[in-house]
A and B are shown apart, each in its own frame.
Chain A
Amino acid sequence: MLSLAFYLLFLLVFVVFAVYAERKTAAFIQNRLGPMEVGPRGMLQTVADLLKMIQKEDIKADAVDKLPFLIAPIIVFVAVFAGFSVLPLNAEVAGSNVSGGLFLMLAIISLDVLGILMAGWASNNKYSLFGSMRSVAQIVSYEIPIGLSVLCVVIITGTLDLQKTSLLQSGRGLIDWNIIQHPVLIIPFLIFFISGLAESNRTPFDLPESESELIGGYHTEYSGFRWGIFMLSEYGMMLLLSIVGAILFFGGWNSPLVRIGSWDLYTMTSGTVWGTFWLLSKALLLVFIQMWVRWTLPRLRVDQLMSLSWKYLTPLSILMLFICGIWKLWLIS
């Protein structure tokens, strides 16, 4: 419960600064300055944008299907945010004590596809419907490689509990991380990262909302606070997948510092606050990589998106699952 309350607050602060970071990253990559006017170096730009956004009228077009239209953003946000419930925060504060935590999380966050489909269909707008159709196809397709790549980790660690996964990687710092202990996990991590981008509808997989062709896709008809909830869930999804990636592959809340001679840097940088710090900084670094990718790669075509998932990522993740199984058997024997 404590971790969920923390994550709710953190998510709100994160979205404000992630939007700012996103705009700054984009600007720097494109030789621009980005927001500079509101606050020191434009730091309060997102706050101003948020204030503007919540003042906006909540427009409901006459032709929309009222009930699904109104509850769709809530379903999307709840589905994404419920995923945070199983995440540990540090060594003391674990998430919900579910033995199949990781499985539960993957099951819950894939429910947001329902909300997106509802939003697009209820909008009674062809662009919105296109957006949500693409989104459903995309998320359903990428569930498979993401599930299989997570399964690779599960085979090796032997647990679905994220707190246990973190505990298994603690003790000696960097060298205990899954990705370093078990180098076979490098490819599953790449698959996880790519599918994660697709799951959170980020460029280069942002076909559901491609603003240039679908004018925002499934949230075209939304305005004001309801639109803000979609935005919040998108960034929430980014953060969630980054935290899960950090836990599964990069040691979770464990310090990356190793013991050098008599200097036990690892114990010096472990503890409740340090643990939270390490977990969130690893996750934020992954979020930065997501932004970096967004401003590098152009959007994929629909058929390219499907062939990437079904022809490349899925067979590769099945192969990696097999290899990880052999690795585990070889490790044990």
Chain B
Amino acid sequence: MSYFKNISYALRTVRKGLTLTIRYFFSARFKRNKRPVTAANYFEAENGTFTVQYPREEILVPDHGRYKLHNEIDDCIVCDKCAKICPVDCIEIEPIRAVEEYGKTSDGTPLRIHAAKFDIDMAKCCFCGLCTVVCPTECLTMTDEFDYSTSNILDHNFSFSKMTEREINEKKLELEEFQKEKEAIKNTSGAEKQAKPVMKKPAGKPVFKPRPIPKRK
């Protein structure tokens, strides 16, 4: 009797399979809603096509995702903290001390150092986000841009300094002259001062004010 059982089993299973696939076929009219991974119903099954046609449409990335670094150089006080904390040393900074305070950041911290070079090599970056945590003026942030692959690895080194070669030389000369002047003053104005060491106040101490991070949309 297993002969007829086989026939009925085959018919039943084929019918079941065919109804299932035709249901999927017709549900391809719909498109699956794109949700960020943080959405509560992210894993909920939904009918319709799942394909994301990537360059034209993207899956939403989480707000707190750690992707490409960005430095808002106008707000950067070149404190070098990010370069120091970086576990993989991907941030390279060349500071030039300014002769005087030359401006203020958007949160009111005085700018006292020029950034002749502020390079972040994203090819080395391990995306830990520590640099953004230590940044006192919050100018260094991680953006939601994740697709910046290139065929040349050197293109992964992003330069944020806005200074031109000429400006850098100018500032260097300025600093040199300033230091020479200082030296001259020091030499002329007595040896009596030489005796006691002067505790110098470190230049460009940031005014750190914690403030809530605005949520990016």
Contact = CB atoms under 8 A, between A and B. Distances in A.
Interface of A: 25, 27-33, 36, 292-293, 295-297, 311-312
Contacts of B53: 33, 36
Contacts of A33: 49, 51, 53
Contacts of B17: 296-297
Given A31-B48, A31-B50, A33-B51, A293 B28 contact: no
B9 to A, nearest CB: 12
Central interface residue in A29, A292, A295, A312, by most chain B CB within 10 Å: A29
A32 B50 contact: yes
B63 to A, nearest CB: 28
Contacts of B32: 31
Contacts of A297: 14, 17
B51 A28 contact: no
A148 B21 CA distance: 31
B178 interface: no
B7 A312 contact: yes
Given A30-B24, A31-B27, A312-B7, 8 more contacts: A25-B25, A27-B49, A28-B25, A28-B49, A31-B32, A292-B22, A296-B17, A297-B17
Given A36-B53, A297-B14, A29 B48 contact: no
Contacts of B128: none
A312 B14 CA distance: 15
Contacts of B47: 31
* Interface of chain B, main secondary structure: helix
B18 A296 contact: yes
Contacts of A311: 3
Contacts of B7: 312
Interface in B94-127: none
Contacts, number: 44
A297 B15 CA distance: 10
Given A297-B14, A297-B17, A312-B7, A292 B51 contact: no
Interface in B190-212: none
B14 A28 contact: no
17 contacts: A28-B24, A28-B25, A28-B49, A29-B24, A30-B24, A31-B24, A31-B27, A31-B49, A31-B50, A31-B51, A32-B50, A32-B51, A33-B53, A292-B18, A296-B18, A297-B14, A311-B3
B10 to A, nearest CB: 8
A292 B25 contact: yes
Contacts of B24: 28-31
A139 B62 CA distance: 56
A197 to B, nearest CB: 12
For the complex of A and B, 9 pairs with smallest distance between CB atoms:
A28-B28, A33-B51, A296-B21, A296-B17, A29-B21, A28-B25, A31-B50, A29-B24, A29-B25
B30 to A, nearest CB: 10
Contacts of B18: 292-293, 296
Interface string B1-12: 001001100000
A133 B21 CA distance: 32
